[in-house]
Amino acid sequence: MFDVPPPFQSRGIEAYKKTWELFFSWSSAPIPFDITEMSITAGRDVAFVVAAMHCAEPGANGEHKGLDFRLTVGLRKINGRWVITHEHHSVPAMD
């Protein structure tokens, strides 16, 4: 997985879980996630999902601030099951 905050890349389920521990350590309250736009392209054994998303991350004063980001997920059908083989989060570059 390639994510917005470090580490730049995480490989394997244990490394992936650790990135969420960091994210959820910011707040004890639930953090809302909304899909604002999504496109799915699927073949027989490969699929891609591209989405625009919004979440509310904790701000410096403890109040949530909005964060718009992009999500790309690549999947492969392995032994009859869809498996995520690539996940990428990014935010638009700011000048």
Tell me the per-residue pLDDT of 20-75, one tens digit each, with 9 for 90 and over. 776 667 666 677 789 999 999 999 999 999 999 998 866 667 676 788 899 999 99
Structural domains of the chain, count? 1
Any idea what the Cα angle at residue 34 is, between residues 75 and 15, rounded to 5°? 50
- Could you tell me if residue 67 is inside a domain? yes
Query: Is 39 part of any domain?
Result: yes
CATH of the domain at 34: 3.10.450.50
Output the pTM of the full model: 0.68
* 7 belongs to a structural domain: no
For the chain, the maximum distance between any two Cα atoms, rounded to a whole number of angstroms, is 48
Once rounded to an integer, what is the mean pLDDT over residues 13-18?
Answer: 82
User: Which residue segment(s) compose the domain that 60 sits in?
Assistant: 13-90
In a domain, 37, yes or no: yes
Question: Does residue 33 fall inside a structural domain?
Answer: yes
Residue 8 lies in a domain: no
